[in-house]
Structure 1
């Protein structure tokens, strides 16, 4: 099984330890921290704090993908993220860009992005063409529907098998275009067109996904409604549940966790590793 991820200028041996991807939303309307880091100065300060806290990858998003959120025009998304990319690349840490628009992918890669994180699985016309000739990492996520309607009534025959089949098809499309396997990470898309039961079925099946597809899994559960459904906590009170979710994902085989709370997640993973190393 592949244990390596090529992420632009950076390479990771994923057998050594799970990676922490820190979320940096430069949007006015993200579900958890919308508007907090919208200004460039605040975005840079937040990124610098995440680096101090031990982040491995910083994921910049210029369009909210919370349930029911409207699409953002290309020009507006570029206006939000490009200054952040140019400013943050000087920090010397891998930058992931959370986008599903080919035009944004191209501009981000030119500006020095190390990964493209696409909730739409590179299905948009021109998306694969926008990334195939670069060396950046690619995160392929599963989503049923669109952010506008994905939570209306998600249905599956078998959610785990269906998600795996979708990811396999998208992986094959990337490989057929000449993308190296070492560039690809997969994401089951927690909360993107899934019920609470679907989400936890997928969480319990991360090891199966990695085994069947032969690629590392990224898990993004941080502060999501699947945490709130179990704990009864509001978004701002979901730290403990989010840490438990991240550790559960890693225990199931996730190689990257995408989180809001970097310092706390890094500490939790250090303790988890210390407690489990001799048993592996």
Structure 2
């Protein structure tokens, strides 16, 4: 029996509508500014989508498109200007940055209260100790998708495949907060496929196309596939696939996210939720939860 396909597009649309409704109810217009340096094609698409959905939610969206040659000092100066602008509640500097710019320094320069990506060390630290913070968007999306299958994650045996600062580690910390029993697996894990096959909930976030095969998955498990990998289709074109071999995995999993259409749409929806949260904090109003 094939797995239930978890519809990230539908859930993301629901969250975006709730965010827009809450902003209207609270009488605030959150402002999100996206900064992009250079001409990376994928980044260009991401920024267009972020700004478009920001405006569709009734927020004030703006962008700064800077040339590849922009100096680190000038980028940091722009970030400081945005930090001091009360109409800007959220700042997102699109990654990757050109090689001559230190991304960690840029992230540390963003005001933590406006860090809607949730990457600032202060927000990362608050997440680690369970304090309220701005949480990275893709991990938030993973948890919300998992909860469409398991409204209560308490006691689930969860395996996070990947240990990046952007996805793997924060997903693990969020799952711990949900009282799941969490294992973080990675390329150095012994008997990796066996570790994954014990998971009630498997979050795959390693960036390796179709690494996770059928035998890596416990029958009936929920699989959240974070990977977005472009591979040749053999016809001179390419297609997007996840970190999970979807066609074979769906025959054994209980529920699974597709690629595309799973985690991806949730990332921008959670970005809007973070921007609303930051705006509420700036206005001294309680932030809604999603």
TM-score w.r.t. the length of structure 1 is 0.35
Larger Rg: 2
Of structures 1 and 2, the one with the larger relative CO (CA 8 A, separation 6+) is: 2
TM-score w.r.t. the length of structure 2 is 0.34
